[in-house]
Amino acid sequence: MDLFLLAEMGGRTVAIDADQVHSVVDIGEIIPVPRANPCVRGLVALRSRVVTVICTRIAMGLPVPKQAAKRAIITNIDGHFYAVLVDSLEDVAPFTRLPLMSGVLLEGGWRALGVGMIERDDEPVLIVDLSALIARQSLAA
Partner 1 sequence: MDELLQEFIAETRETLEALAGEIVAWEAAPTDRARLDSIFRFVHTVKGSCGFLDLPRLERLSHAAEDTLAQVRDGTRVPDRQLVNAVLAIVDRIGELVEAIDAGAALDDSSEELLIAALSADAAPLASQAVQPAVHRAPSRSVRLGVDLLDRMMSGMSEMVLARNELARQLRNHSTLPGIEGALERLSQTVADMRDTVTRTRMQKIDALFSALPRMVRDTSAELEKQVMLTIEGSDVELDREMIELMRDPLVHIIRNALDHGIEPNAERQAAGKPAAGRLVVSARQSGNQILVEVRDDGRGIDVERLAAKACKLGIKTAAETAAMSPLAKLELAFHPGLSSRDTVTAISGRGVGMDVVRANIEQIGGRIVLTNRRGQGLTVSIQVPLTLSIIPAIIVAAGNQRFALARQAVEEIVTTRGAAVRIDNVGDTSIATVRGRRLAVVSLDKLLGLGDSEPRTLAIVNTRDGEYALAIDEVLDTEELVVKPASPMVMATGIYAGKTLPDTGLPMLLLDSAGVAAVAGLTFHNGAVDFAEVEADEAVQEQRWSALLFDDVDGRRRAVPLPAVDRVEAVEASAIQAVGGRLRIVIDGASVAIHTMAALPQKGEINMLRLADGVSVVGYAIAEPVEIVSLPAGFVAAQGGGMIAGVVMVEGQQIELVDVHALFAEIETTIPTKATCLLHGDQSGWMATFLRPALEAAGYHCVSELVPGERVQVALAMEDADAATIPVAAPVVRLTTSPQRRGDGSVYRYDRVSLLGAIAETLAGAA
Site of interaction with partner 1 (CB under 8 A): 29, 31-37, 39-40, 43-45, 47-50, 52, 54, 78, 80-82, 134, 137-138, 141
Nearer to partner 1, 80 or 111 (CB): 80
Q: How far is the CB of 66 from partner 1 (least distance, A)?
A: 21
**Closer Cβ to partner 1, 52 or 118, answer by number:** 52
Q: How far is the CB of 3 from partner 1 (least distance, A)?
A: 25
Closer by beta carbon to partner 1, 51 or else 117: 51
Q: Which residues contact 112 (CB under 8 A, 6 or more apart)?
A: 132, 133, 136
Distance of closest approach, residue 68 Cβ to partner 1, in angstroms: 17
- State in angstroms the smallest separation of the CB of 118 from partner 1: 29
Contact call for residues 22 and 5 (beta carbons, < 8 A): no
Closer to partner 1 by CB, 35 or 66: give it: 35
